[in-house]
Structure 1
Amino acid sequence: MDGQDALLTAEALAFLAALHRRFEPERQRRLQARRIRQSTFDAGALPDFRPDTAHIRAADWRVAPLPAALQDRRVEITGPVDPKMVINALNSGAKVYMADFEDSTSPTWANLVAGQQALRGAVAGTLEFTAPNGKHYAPKPFAEQAVLMVRPRGWHLDEKHVLVDGQPMSGSLFDAGLFAFHNARALAAKDRGPFFYLPKLESMEEAQLWNDVLDHVEAELKLPRGQIKATVLIETLPAAFEMEEILYALRDRIAGLNCGRWDYVFSYIKTFRRHRDKVLPERGQVTMTQPFLRAYSELLIQTCHRRGAHAMGGMAAQIPIANDTAANDAALAKVRADKLREVTAGHDGTWVAHPALIPLAQAVFDERMPGAHQKHLTREDVLVTRDDLITPPIGSITRAGFEGNVEVCVRYLAAWLDGNGCVPIHWLMEDAATAEIARAQLWQWLRAGDLYLDDGTPVDETLFERALMKLPSLASTDIPGASRINEAIGLLDRLTHADELEAFLTLPAYRRLD
């Protein structure tokens, strides 16, 4: 396809092949360790703080100092890597733009190549885009742009289009490696990294693998050691018990930890998929004010500030509601309350999914956090136990909540199969994380036994099938991915009826992508 040869030069391919050959065996060992640990949870074990790493938690150490570009991160915007999005995000007024190859990008080969091209053009200062309607887009001068950070795909995902010795290479290594190969020296010359966001880690060993990879990249590209900085998303329940250890494994390059709230909820469901006493209520009731999520957020703040790292808050998924002022005001009030909670608790910054939310989030942080960050707030009042992190909230499942899970999962999956990884549904920007919550809850709810909606209706196969039957009519609409609605219904139906919960929705779905 266009641009592929300019990206995948002989030198770039050799660089990627070396990454694969050196680190693929350890990646596979880490993935096997995940499966083994999950089997213990399925048998009734509970996650806990590791006794073998207590010395790390007890020792006095701090992470390496951060460059000027990462000192103030009060508002970060995230989104996919198509050229228009890249330009709009860089111009958005946010402090940081996280260019996302993971949850908000459907990893078609065309999307990945176009995304790498767009980021390469952004770094070089040559990126421009003209929409079909003739509107022209170009980035602001470099000094006015958001700081670029890149989120590669997680360790669990392959890149089937690039084979090394007959094996597909890691999606993580492809995304991060190709970006670094083409852009690392230019970014280093501007004191802009490169900077990465690392997703879905489950252990300090997985963090150590990333550190070894980034050490290797620096050596191969002749960058100073520690030039590459990384922020880790704490978006799995096992990782919440290893935050100190993850910081330690990456201590020479870690910039902070982030509360990846939606993936974290998904991970909670997945971890306790066989635990009848750990069933969560519907997604709308699982907010950050719930005790188990508040404990996770406050422990992250305490851990990061103790070690000198940023503690980043979570995503506001709301998008402006056109033609309904009252509904829009109510949505913005929720965003404001959420950001006020974060900055008051001690977070050093937050995420938004839509540029229109940047002024609101920034105003909240500007008022309560006049400095670049608030790492001086050590939160010594926080004392979080294992049970604080794993005790589920009390709540219910409404008919609207159950049917909403079915609809969101089908609509998002249809759009994803059609090449769109970031989809507005009912005035929320949905990505893979929220779709994962929806389908994992459905799988667990249908197996919990004696579970009822708040109106007394049994949560069973009949309820699920009736919800599915309402959706085929969407195939005749103009929503994203409408042509693949029936395919998405079939895939959700099979995944929900499977004996085992699929680790990630995107694994079977990826096989259907070009």
Structure 2
Amino acid sequence: MSKVVLLQSPPPKFEEIQKTIFSDAALEFLSQLHINFDDKIEQLYKDRLQRTVATKVFSTLDFKKSSERKDKSWKIAPLPSRLQNRHLDLGDVSASNTAHFVSSLNQDIQGIQVDFDDGHCPTWKNQLQAFQNIRLAVNGKLQGAPLTITTCPVLMLRPRAWNMIEHNILINGKEAIGPLVDFAILMFHNAKKLHEANSGPYFYLSKLEGASEAQLWNNIFVWTQKQLGLPQGTIKACVLIENIISTFELDEILYALKEHSLGLNCGIWDYCASIISKFGDREEFLLPDRNKYVNMDRHFLNSYLRLVVSTCHARDAPATGGMAAAMLKPGSDLTDKESKTIIKKILEGKMKEIECGVDGFMVYDARVVPHVNELWKKSGATPNQISRKFEVNISPQDLLTIPQDGVTLQGLKHNVAISIMFIYYWLAGIGHFFYSGNVEDSATAEISRYQIWQWIRFSPPLEDDPDKRVTVKLVEKTASNFAAHAHKNLCRSNAERKRLTAARYMSMELFLTRNPPEFITSYLNDNHKFRTLHNKALLSSL
């Protein structure tokens, strides 16, 4: 019998929720999942380290020469009816925010990215609230939500990525693995109901680094379906291609998940951050001002998008694009000039993705949903574009040649602001926030802090003032000025002021470190400041 220890007592008013979510049966299922896959996950971490070293030594990547890639005949398993149309999901929906989750369940969309990753902060309270809200929604008992899961958009459950450790649970003396906790609890409480309703369980898989990690998830799916008495192939999962390594193993990733595949997804900012993570200590990989020069029209990103779409469609798999992060002003009239401009910009960007062959994408602001739905109707209104087969001739050089554009002071200020504010909100237990007309999450924080680190290292000149370069002094001044402005406009209490000060210094630590952590969420999740703020309960053993 395995021993599971919860290191947190339930927060006030969460006593019954914790007992329900982490029942004896649920804990036993969670522990058995860990016991069966712990060694393989440890190997995954070792493989990642070895791959990072190898990438730096050999300084390039190439497409795998695998039998899966050479064989053009195989396809993924047919998709169930509710996954034939993947036109529109709402993204960054943390089920811990009950009002936002309920609102999303009532939208005219195909799916909801129910997020435990980029847009969610995994405090113990947030985890309990999210698990409970999902369980209630699946059982038709969440107040304000549809009474049956068949009338809701499908829940596209996104567990944490492999880099995240669950510090609040010990299994046989070892801290639990974040994504296994999320997956196990979601499956244990919801899988049978979702299957009976022909509505899941469906998943997004974040930050995979190659086909071996997709194969590990596939093995987890097979084991879990057997344990829960579900038909093999019931689980479907869409892999987010957010890592440069994975772009060179697309066929292999689809093949590894063949019976469980729901295609692939493109995510621009985590993807760009992974390029800096793997190659950013070399000047030819200096990424320019992202707001001005980095978008899906650039050759290296357009090549990535076209390769994902082409590879998916060749295997009868859907390919989905990223999330439109632009926000309309709260309470704004959708017919005013500013709102029309924002909506027009979103639709123009998404139309380009449709023309590239994508089968769907995400938005954050539900107010633009009717406009996006109309865009799809005008574009042909077929459930998907999988029948569009086309060959692309993409080389490693196409994917790895970074545009040689400049850096601006405004770009520096923006990246500093996003880095500080993301940490500030994470310390408050909030996984995404709104800034300068956009929703910001860990993906944008990731690219922001990586760019500042890279700019300090190579000290490029400023486009708007060529006599000046990016220096530590300039970054420190920018961070200080932003913190002073935020202090005046954001902080109302002593706790908020302390949190802002901590966020500023933690950001500078990320900007200046010799060897930056690969993931900002790991850095924060493992940090004593965060763990102290959200670890006030007494130890309890189950």
Pick the TM interval, shorter chain. over 0.9
What are the within-5 Å matches in structure 2 for residues 311-322 of structure 1?
311-322=319-330
- Partner amino acid for 2:353? E
Q: Alignment partner for residue 496 of structure 1, among 511, 516, 527?
A: 511
Q: Are residues 1:393 and 2:403 paired?
A: yes
**Alpha carbons of structure 1 residues 206 and 24: separation in structure 2 relative to 1, 3 Å:** same
Deviates more, 1:241-250 or 1:351-360: 351-360
For 1:57 and 1:319, how far apart are their aligned partners in 2?
Answer: 43
Q: Alignment partner for residue 240 of structure 1, among 230, 244, 247?
A: 247
Q: Over aligned residue pairs, what C-alpha RMSD do you find?
A: 1.7
Hey, what does 2:160 align to over in structure 1? 153
Q: Alignment partner for residue 445 of structure 1, among 455, 464, 470?
A: 455
Q: CA deviation at 1:246?
A: 0.3
For 1:476 and 1:293, how far apart are their aligned partners in 2?
Answer: 39
What are the within-5 Å matches in structure 2 for residues 216-365 of structure 1?
216-284=223-291, 285-322=293-330, 325-365=336-376
For 1:365 and 1:166, how far apart are their aligned partners in 2?
Answer: 52
Hey, what does 1:183 align to over in structure 2? 190
- Partner amino acid for 2:265? N
**Alpha carbons of structure 1 residues 44 and 279: separation in structure 2 relative to 1, 3 Å:** farther
- 3-state secondary structure, aligned to 1:258: strand
Hey, what does 1:164 align to over in structure 2? 171
Q: Alignment partner for residue 108 of structure 1, among 109, 115, 123?
A: 123
Q: Alignment partner for residue 74 of structure 1, among 70, 77, 87?
A: 87
Contact 1:260 1:314 in 2 (8 A): yes
Hey, what does 1:122 align to over in structure 2? 137
Deviation string for 1:431-484 (max 9, x for gaps)? 000000000011111112454444211111111011011133313433799441
Hey, what does 1:475 align to over in structure 2? 487
- 3-state secondary structure, aligned to 2:225: helix
User: Which runs of structure 1 show a deviation greater than 6 angstroms over 4 or more consecutive aligned residues?
Assistant: none
- 3-state secondary structure, aligned to 1:395: coil
Contact 1:57 1:245 in 2 (8 A): no
For 1:450 and 1:54, how far apart are their aligned partners in 2?
Answer: 44
Contact 1:282 1:396 in 2 (8 A): yes
- Partner amino acid for 1:299? L
For 1:245 and 1:333, how far apart are their aligned partners in 2?
Answer: 37
Q: Are residues 1:89 and 2:104 paired?
A: yes
Contact 1:453 1:459 in 2 (8 A): no
- Partner amino acid for 1:409? S
For 2:345 and 2:253, how far apart are their aligned partners in 1?
Answer: 32
Contact 2:87 2:359 in 1 (8 A): yes
Hey, what does 1:22 align to over in structure 2? 36
- 3-state secondary structure, aligned to 1:424: strand
- 3-state secondary structure, aligned to 1:471: helix
**Alpha carbons of structure 1 residues 142 and 184: separation in structure 2 relative to 1, 3 Å:** closer
Contact 2:160 2:179 in 1 (8 A): yes
**Alpha carbons of structure 1 residues 377 and 458: separation in structure 2 relative to 1, 3 Å:** same
Contact 1:80 1:422 in 2 (8 A): no
- 3-state secondary structure, aligned to 1:77: strand
For 1:459 and 1:72, how far apart are their aligned partners in 2?
Answer: 46
Hey, what does 2:4 align to over in structure 1? none
Hey, what does 1:42 align to over in structure 2? 56
Q: CA deviation at 1:54?
A: 4.9
Q: Are residues 1:195 and 2:202 paired?
A: yes
Q: CA deviation at 1:307?
A: 0.2
Q: CA deviation at 1:143?
A: 4.1
Deviates more, 1:53-62 or 1:111-120: 53-62
- The share of aligned pairs that are identical, in percent, is 33
Q: Are residues 1:375 and 2:390 paired?
A: no
For 1:229 and 1:389, how far apart are their aligned partners in 2?
Answer: 28
Q: CA deviation at 1:296?
A: 0.6
**Alpha carbons of structure 1 residues 450 and 287: separation in structure 2 relative to 1, 3 Å:** closer
- 3-state secondary structure, aligned to 2:77: coil
Q: CA deviation at 1:93?
A: 1.1
Q: Are residues 1:209 and 2:216 paired?
A: yes
For 1:75 and 1:59, how far apart are their aligned partners in 2?
Answer: 29
Hey, what does 1:133 align to over in structure 2? none
Contact 2:242 2:268 in 1 (8 A): yes
Contact 2:320 2:358 in 1 (8 A): yes
For 1:219 and 1:55, how far apart are their aligned partners in 2?
Answer: 26
For 2:306 and 2:239, how far apart are their aligned partners in 1?
Answer: 16
- Partner amino acid for 2:416? V
Deviation string for 1:264-311 (max 9, x for gaps)? 111122121111101111121211111111011111110000001001
Unmatched tracts of structure 2, length 5 or more: 1-9, 535-542
**Alpha carbons of structure 1 residues 104 and 342: separation in structure 2 relative to 1, 3 Å:** same
- Partner amino acid for 2:404? I
- 3-state secondary structure, aligned to 1:148: strand
**Alpha carbons of structure 1 residues 353 and 464: separation in structure 2 relative to 1, 3 Å:** same
For 2:204 and 2:71, how far apart are their aligned partners in 1?
Answer: 27
For 2:142 and 2:480, how far apart are their aligned partners in 1?
Answer: 45
For 2:365 and 2:125, how far apart are their aligned partners in 1?
Answer: 24
Hey, what does 2:21 align to over in structure 1? 7
Q: Alignment partner for residue 428 of structure 1, among 421, 435, 438?
A: 438
Q: CA deviation at 1:334?
A: 1.6
- 3-state secondary structure, aligned to 1:315: strand
Give the TM-score taking structure 1 as reference length: 0.95
Unmatched tracts of structure 1, length 5 or more: 129-136
For 1:91 and 1:384, how far apart are their aligned partners in 2?
Answer: 41
For 1:389 and 1:479, how far apart are their aligned partners in 2?
Answer: 43
- Partner amino acid for 2:315? R
Q: CA deviation at 1:497?
A: 1.3
Contact 1:73 1:95 in 2 (8 A): yes
Contact 1:106 1:419 in 2 (8 A): yes
Q: How many residues are matched?
A: 504
Q: Are residues 1:60 and 2:61 paired?
A: no
Give the TM-score taking structure 2 as reference length: 0.90
- Partner amino acid for 1:76? D
